[in-house]
Amino acid sequence: MLANNIKLMIEYAPTYQVIHFTNGKDALAYAQHTEPDLVICDITMPGMNGYEFCEIFRNLGYYNVPFLFLTGSDSYGDIRKGMNLGADDYLVKPVPILELLKAIKTRLKKSARIENKYKEAAEELKKEIEKRDELLKNYNISQPK
């Protein structure tokens, strides 16, 4: 499947908006100012390969953004390399569109659950800090700076 065909098929599912890049450099430039909800990447790209892109993307701090490889590279070594770099899924072309949409939906649901857990933990921590601050205030204890 050509990238543009994949883009159109994903967008056909009304839930998703797709931003397509033909190379990793442009995608990384975009990610510098807008965190994507999910990344679908081929191994073979001009300028940098998908493995390089994945490694740089993860090193930019995007550890919780679902990352899917969608590629024609189907050797065990290729799959393991992609997963070891932090990919959440590795699909081999040609992939039925329903399978691709299911993989996207599954990864986004997992990401949302993780994000909710982080938010809950942050709220609990905030409450604990407020309790501590109130206790210190009540006893006129200055807080460390």
Mean pLDDT score across all residues of the chain: 86
Strand partners, 59: none
The predicted-structure confidence for 66-82, as pLDDT tens digits, reads as follows: 999 999 989 999 999 99
The predicted-structure confidence for 96-111, as pLDDT tens digits, reads as follows: 888 988 999 999 998 8
pTM above 0.95, yes or no: no
Q: CA 142, CA 111: separation in Å to the nearest integer?
A: 40
Number of other residues whose CB lies within 10 A of the CB of residue 100: 22
Q: Taking CA 117 as the corner, what is the angle to CA 124 and CA 63, rounded to the nearest 5 degrees?
A: 120
**Has domain 3-115 been given CATH number 3.40.1350.10?**
no
